[in-house]
Amino acid sequence: MSRAHDDTDGNAAYGKKPFERAKSHFADRITADGKDGWPVEAGRYRLVVSRACPWASRALVSRRLLGLEGSLSLAVADPVQDDRSWRFTLDPGGRDPVLGIRYLSEAYEAREPDYPDGVSVPAIVDVPSGRLVTNDYQRITLDFATEWTALHRPGAPDLYPEPLRAEIDEVMEGVYRDVNNGVYRAGFATRQSEYEDACRGVFRRLDLVAQRLADHRYLVGDTITEADIRLFTTLVRFDAVYHGHFKCNRWKLTENPVLWAYARDLYQTPGFGDTVDFDHIKRHYYQVHTGINPTAIVPLGPDLSGWVTPHHREELGGRPFGDGTPPGPAPAAERVPSAG
């Protein structure tokens, strides 16, 4: 999720111009062999997220499941950013305590002076230099799973198992196009036909996913994989923001028995729900997207208590963490209020 520097391309522009998902400008990879100049190294990098952003939430879930908290520090931006970019107003003095900056854009500028494009999360910053390393939201979590293995916790799951990668990639491609990105295409549409095409695509894909999950606990194989993480971060926002704010309202998540049970199953799995902050999610979408919601009024609903009700998905079998184990409790400084 990004923010451009130009005020004419800021919050008020949402819903007033055609939507197009920008490619990640900074696509360097942090790898075990350091081939891009950025070797995996404990304590060297800082992950910058917004708990409101579904793309950043993927990184939060992956980091928790793999136990990277002690190796990769976390900066959480204010969910209500301004047109200058994501800001660190949640921290004392309005500065990130590790990077010493007020805006994430400062790390972008340190990497590329006069950088003209959007400032997005998730982003990984090199702490010693203060320079942005990558904002490649599609690649970051895959590298967490495959390149950061030396820093994984004991019992960390394999979120991208090699024998299943082709199938995982195929599932993720459809989910990304029609669901992850589709809700944005619907929400930011400027023409009726554009909106209807995107909205139909969202629910067509969700119907297909529900059929897949009717007798399988997880999307691919019998364990949690990257594909589940990517679907979950959209589903957990669906009724709170996408159903109303983005007009994806053919039905609510709670009205689809399979997807609602699947989403609750993941939410109640350590590493998923304990990274979700519904307050941040709602305030971001309704207060930042003033082109869609000019009053910036944040709705009171929906009722969140259902997220912690029994789901019975364990009856389908499956092993959430495969041969591994659940992550321990989230670090105290990173805990968020539970929906229950």
Q: Which of 14, 108, 160, 184 is catalytic?
A: 184
Is 53 part of the annotated catalytic residue set? yes
Q: Which of 14, 53, 195, 267 is catalytic?
A: 53
Pick from 7, 6, 24, 54: nearest CA to 187? 54
CA distances from residue 266 to 135, 228, 308, 326 in whole angstroms, order as listed:
26, 8, 10, 12
Q: Which helix (H) or strand (E) holds 134?
A: strand 131-134
Enter the tokens of residue 271. Answer: 């590493």
Beta bridge partners of 140: none
Helices (H) and strands (E) in the chain, counts: 9, 6
Is 248 part of the annotated catalytic residue set? no
Q: Which residues are catalytic?
A: 53, 184
